[in-house]
Amino acid sequence: MIDFNKLIDKYLEREFRPKQIGRYYPSEIGGCLRKTWYSYKVPKATDTKLARVFEAGNMLHEFIAEVIKSEKNKDVELLQSEMPIQIKTKDFVISGRIDNLVLLKVCDINGKFKDDDCKQVLLEVKSTKFLPEFCKKEHEMQLQLYMRATGVENGIVLYVQKDNIETKWFDVKLNVVEGEKIIERFEKIHESLVCGKMPIAEAKMNKEDKWMCDYCPWKEECDKEGSF
């Protein structure tokens, strides 16, 4: 008999490459900085169950891109998908990929598209078990960073429920002040990594984020260190 679980796990296997200090990623800056610190200092291969979750998310991302590209939806146009971005500072580089760059088209009363009113929007897609009531701060931070890198002033965080493809979305406007704060967080983690000084356990100290600890691969190591 064929063991399909084994086939899937083998297919999803990736070469384990520890991350390099000085190269950072938008998706990790909105979470606990201590977890990010551990991911560089005590690297661990991605768990097979987590790899499956990521792959399921990738499938939904591809589905959303196909929906946008469809001839049935003429009021939107997919300009780019998986668009790479890079922000360089004196000490480090931030690298990432934007899910989709979309053109929203506006029609006049005769049904013709008005080029002057069309606008570009960055679309960040997140697969989820349940649709959230509010946009998660880490996802908004990630999108703010993408808007800063591209100069696109409008963004959408789109949540897609895995079991029924129901969606919920939140509009995000470029906020220069918030963008600077995000860069400051990157500077903070970079300094901590270079100096070898562990950041505080942010998730433990905020009851709204404490749930993150239950899913953290470095929970055991972190618990031994305390919160500060």
Going by pLDDT thresholds of 50, 70 and 90, the confidence category of residue 208 is: confident
DSSP 212: G
SS3 34: helix
Question: Is 101 or 17 the better-scoring residue by pLDDT?
Answer: 101
Q: Per the structure, how many domains does the chain have?
A: 1
Mean pLDDT of 142-154: 96
CATH of the domain at 169: 3.90.320.10
pLDDT at residue 110, rounded to an integer: 57
Mean pLDDT (whole number) for 145-172:
96
Is residue 104 assigned to a domain? yes
Helix, strand, or coil (residue 92) = coil
pTM for this predicted structure: 0.90
Is residue 7 assigned to a domain? Answer: no
pLDDT value of residue 87? 95
Domain with 134 in it: 17-219
Q: Does residue 4 sit within a domain? A: no
Q: In this structure, is residue 81 part of a structural domain?
A: yes
58: three-class secondary structure by DSSP: helix
pLDDT digits (tens, 9 = 90+) for 159-204: 999 999 999 999 999 999 999 999 999 999 999 999 999 999 999 9
- Phi first, then psi: give them for residue 201, nearest 5 degrees: -85, 85
pLDDT above 60: residue 109: no
pLDDT tier for residue 127 given thresholds of 50, 70 and 90: very high
* Residue 78 lies inside a defined structural domain of this protein: yes
